[in-house]
Structure 1
């Protein structure tokens, strides 16, 4: 009798300690449909990669695209903030200002995304410290892998008769979570032993991380950071700027349904197709946003140089495109202009219709209208 290619979880109320180690059998995903989607996804991601590395100053992407990714990923966990609240909080980051609530949660995610990227730049490969560092930044906690005594299970949401019941119970027990994570780390890191296309490897690794569920909370956000960090670690992107969570939030029910279908019915093909499509769609979305931002930046610089006598116009435009809300102190702290000059120039851009002056909680901000529009679309 033939053995099954993948052992599913037989009882959602019991810890899945028999979760199969990686790799999975290639027959579970090596289909014509997956290979066709993989080609489309690699093409879109390659185009984004080529566009992003051609930009002279990548601070525009670092501070805007990754902030939108953080916002979308947090929304998947029902952490909502408005663009205005988020941009205000980001403009105050690093100053002696208390940032609270949902904006703080989103900024934590962005910090963790870049900390993960830096960890890989420093160490080259994923390790247990990577996972713990990401989790601690996302949750602002000092604990680590959940102890075997923590009886964690995934609950049915909503308000129906099954609300609150277990739909999945992750592995637990002495050393079990650690062993599963070590297997996952080897699978992702060792491309000679596991010569699988990195995009397919990312999809498999994301599923495995989520079902291991190594932490008390924050696993969803940590797993989505892991996705993007895999893409940079494998050289598919230079910077973690893919707007990947936008697709997941737009298709949230499918995301969770496909995760469950692997656990309950070994439907790996559907899951991998979903993740590949997510990368393709968001690579195209990110590519278009980058082009729109660069075009707007060039157009505004041309207008300033043609219609004003503003000095250091290129540096000024760079600053107002680094984030949607600019303050006088951003320009003075960067030692570009003295305070009065900075204020006068920003007000001059308001008169030109490039910026909009806003007063929030008694503080003055200058909103880049075109950048705000592009990021909000």
Structure 2
């Protein structure tokens, strides 16, 4: 009898210490459907990469797109915040005492995304500390890989008769998690030994990280950060700006059922197709958002130059497009204008219908309505 290409998990109630090491058998990912979807995903991602490189103000991408990715990824874990709450919290970043609840968790996710990116810029490859750093940032904790004494299992959700029962139990035991993670790191880092297209490698690596489940909590968010950091580490993007979690939250049930499909029935093709489709759809979505933002920026710049006598219009426009909510202090801290000048110019943009003045918790904010609309769509 021929040995199966992938050994599935035989007992969801026992730790899956026999989780197969990577790589998986090539027949599991070298299918016609996967190759066709891979071409579509790479084309969309390449177009996004080319567009993002040409943007003079990278802050537009760094602050706005990655913040939306953080919000969507957090929603997958049932951490919800409104755009208004999030943008207010982001505009107050650095004044952490006033930021609480879901907005604070989303900001920690965004910071973890950039922590991972910066780690790779310094070290050039993934290592165990990479995982620990992003986990600690996401969860705001000082612990690390869960110990053998931590009996973790994945529960059935909902309110039905099986709610709360185990649907999967990740590996557990002395040195087992470290060995599984080291195999994963070797697989991701060594492109000569494991010469697999990086998008397929990302899909496989994401599954493997989630089933290793190395931390007490926060594995889902850490795993989705891992996805985007793989894309930058492999040179497919310069910045971690792909809005990848938007597709996952829109197809949340499929995401979890397809993860389970690999574990229980070795359905690798369906899982990889899902992740490649996620890259294609969100690369196109991110591309369109960037174009809309740049068009809005150009239109507002033209209006300011034609209808006002505002000095340093480039710097002002750059500031109001760095985040949706601007405060007078943002302009004064950046040493662009004195306080009265900054306030007068922002109020002038309100009169032009470019900004909307809002008072929240006694503080005055100026909302870039076009940027807000584009990001919220």
With normalisation by structure 1, the TM-score equals 1.00
| Structure 2 match to 1:208 | 208
Residue 288 (str. 1) matches residue 319 (str. 2) = no
Matched residue SS, 1:290: helix
Give matches, 1:339-358, under 5 Å: 339-358=339-358
Whole-angstrom CA distance in 2 between matches of 1:314 and 1:138 = 35
- Can you list the C-alpha shifts for 1:124-154, whole angstroms capped at 9, x where unaligned? 0000000000000000000000000111000
* Distance across 2 between alignment mates of 1:221 and 1:71: 11
Tell me, in whole angstroms, the C-alpha distance in 1 between the residues paired with 2:368 and 2:263. 46
Name the residue aligned to 2:301: 301
CA distance in 1, matches of 2:297, 2:164: 50
Report what 1:225 is aligned to. 225
Once the two structures are superposed, residues 286-306 of structure 1 have per-residue CA deviations (whole angstroms, 9 ceiling, x without a partner) of 000000000000000000000
What is residue 363 of structure 1 aligned with on the other side?
Answer: 363
Following the alignment from structure 1 to structure 2, what is the Cα–Cα distance between the partners of residues 373 and 209? Answer: 35
Unaligned ranges ≥5, structure 1: none
Two-structure CA RMSD over aligned residues (Å):
0.5
3-state SS of paired residue (1:365): strand
Per the alignment, residue 103 of structure 1 pairs with 103
Q: After the TM superposition, which segments of 4 or more aligned residues of structure 1 sit over 2 Å from their partners?
A: 95-98
Q: TM-score, normalised by structure 2?
A: 1.00
Aligned residues between the structures: 377
Are 2:190 and 1:190 equivalent residues in the alignment?
yes
- In structure 2, distance between residues paired with 1:321 and 1:142: 35
Q: Distance in 2 between matches of 1:96 and 1:40?
A: 42
Q: CA deviation at 1:98?
A: 2.2
C-alpha distance in 2 between matches for 1:79 and 1:56: 33
Cα offset for 1:96? 6.1
Q: CA deviation at 1:2?
A: 1.1
Number of the residue aligned with 2:235 = 235
What aligned pairs does 1:130-279 form with structure 2 within 5 A after superposition?
130-279=130-279
Distance (whole Å) between structure 1 residues aligned to residue 283 and residue 323 of structure 2: 21
**Displacement after TM superposition at 1:94 (Å):** 1.2
Q: Secondary structure at the match of 2:98?
A: coil
**Counterpart-to-counterpart distance in 2, 1:319 and 1:134:** 28
> In structure 2, what is the Cα distance between the partners aligned to 1:302 and 1:50?
25
C-alpha distance in 2 between matches for 1:301 and 1:28: 52
Q: CA offset at residue 100 of structure 1? A: 0.5
Deviation at 1:97, TM superposition (A): 4.1
3-state DSSP class of the match of 1:300?
helix
- Structure 1 position 29, deviation (Å): 1.4
